């Protein structure tokens, strides 16, 4: 039972490079979201999706793009990485009935030099 | 403007005693509250929740209390165990699909 799978777990980028953080869930959850965790800042919502083809911005969306072409996948794209995007990123999903009870992935640690 | 506040960055308790973690919120439109637990190098895991129409919810050693008039909720862990040592996040849901988290409280349970 995989749950929510994030790849890669670790990544180092140079300023200006682009990359995609992958997120996949096998629980047929409609709701998926991306958070970032920074020291002393808790978890902040970047983008979320309530179903395939539907995405919306969270609290800190600037510098990130998302798409939701399937129920299972919700990739997060950094088009031009900046040092301020150094963080730990978490993908989460939930059932539509109890969407607040999120299932999180193990996280992806990104460092931008 | 921080809508969910956990004012204690850390808490230390002895094994077997009660741990009380606090959370305050400012948005009266929040209708559902949750607690998550996070170990280092892992993703957060859901612990317990409470609807705004209730004032208490209990699950084993964990109890969440909600005081709507004070816009305050608390998580009680009784008895505390060393394995409970983790960061605890309070979260709140409003009328949209956004879950707002507090900054977390690091709980250390000493043997």
Q: Do B34 and A106 touch (CB under 8 A)?
A: no
Does residue A64 belong to the interface with chain B, where contact is any CB pair within 8 Å? no
- Distance in angstroms (rounded) separating the CA atoms of residues A76 and A61: 11
% of chain B exceeding 90 in pLDDT:
91
Q: In this structure, what token pair is assigned to residue A45?
A: 């919502």
The nearest CA of chain B is from the CA of A108 a distance in Å of 10
Task: Please report, in tens digits, the pLDDT of each residue of chain B (111 residues total).
Answer: 679 999 999 999 999 999 999 999 999 999 999 999 999 999 999 999 999 999 999 999 999 999 999 999 999 999 999 999 999 999 999 877 788 999 999 999 999
Q: Number of A to B CB contacts under 8 A, please give it.
A: 56
Does residue B1 belong to the interface with chain A, where contact is any CB pair within 8 Å? no
Question: Of A15-19, A90-94, A99-103, which range is least confident?
Answer: A99-103
> Tokens 């979260």 correspond to what residue?
B91
**Predicted confidence (pLDDT) at residue A2 exceeds the cutoff of 80:** no
Of the candidates A59, A101, A106, the beta carbon closest to that of B43 is on A106
Considering only CA atoms, which of B86, B83, B89 is closest in space to residue B104?
B89
- Distance in angstroms (rounded) separating the CA atoms of residues A14 and A31: 32
Strand boundaries in A26-107, DSSP class E = 31-38, 42-51, 54-57, 64-66, 76-78, 87-94, 103-104
Q: State the pLDDT at residue A1.
A: 65
Instruction: Name chain B contacts of A107, Cβ cutoff 8 Å.
Output: 41-43
% of chain A exceeding 70 in pLDDT:
96
Report the SS3 class of residue B82: helix
For residue range A11-61, list pLDDT tens digits in order: 999 999 999 999 999 999 999 999 999 988 889 999 999 999 999 999 999
- Distance in angstroms (rounded) separating the CA atoms of residues A42 and B7: 12
Q: State the pLDDT at residue B47.
A: 96
CA angle A29–A89–A11, rounded 5-degree value:
120
Q: State the pLDDT at residue A82.
A: 96
- Distance in angstroms (rounded) separating the CA atoms of residues A3 and A21: 17
Q: Do A100 and B41 touch (CB under 8 A)?
A: no
Does residue A93 belong to the interface with chain B, where contact is any CB pair within 8 Å? no
Q: Do B97 and A48 touch (CB under 8 A)?
A: yes
Q: State the pLDDT at residue A98.
A: 66
B63 - beta bridge partners? B58, B76
Do B73 and B65 contact (CB within 8 A), yes or no?
Answer: yes
- Distance in angstroms (rounded) separating the CA atoms of residues A31 and B97: 9
Instruction: Name chain B contacts of A58, Cβ cutoff 8 Å.
Output: 98
For residue range B28-50, list pLDDT tens digits in order: 999 999 999 999 999 999 999 99
Report the SS3 class of residue A2: coil
The nearest CA of chain A is from the CA of B22 a distance in Å of 15
For residue range A5-15, list pLDDT tens digits in order: 999 999 999 99
């Amino acid at each position: 039972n995989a749950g929510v799978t994030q790849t890669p777990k670790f990544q180092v980028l140079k300023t200006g490079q682009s990359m995609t953080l992958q997120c996949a869930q096998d629980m047929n959850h409609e709701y998926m979201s991306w958070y970032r965790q920074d020291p002393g800042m808790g978890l902040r919502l970047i983008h979320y999706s309530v179903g395939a083809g539907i995405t919306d911005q969270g609290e800190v969306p600037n510098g990130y793009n998302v798409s939701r072409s399937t129920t299972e996948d919700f990739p997060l794209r950094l088009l031009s990485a900046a040092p301020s995007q150094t963080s730990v990123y978490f993908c989460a999903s939930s059932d539509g009935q109890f969407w607040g009870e999120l299932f999180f992935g193990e996280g992806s640690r990104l460092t931008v030099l | 403007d921080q809508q969910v506040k956990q004012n204690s960055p850390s808490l230390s308790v002895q094994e077997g005693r009660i741990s009380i973690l606090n959370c305050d919120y400012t948005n009266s439109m929040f209708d559902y509250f949750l607690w998550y637990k996070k170990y280092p190098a892992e993703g957060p895991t859901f612990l317990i929740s409470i609807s705004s129409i209730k004032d208490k919810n209990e699950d084993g050693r964990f109890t969440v209390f909600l005081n709507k008039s004070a816009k305050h909720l608390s998580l009680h862990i009784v008895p505390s165990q060393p394995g409970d040592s983790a960061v605890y996040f309070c979260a709140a849901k409003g009328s949209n699909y956004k879950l707002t988290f507090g900054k977390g409280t690091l709980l250390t349970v000493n043997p």
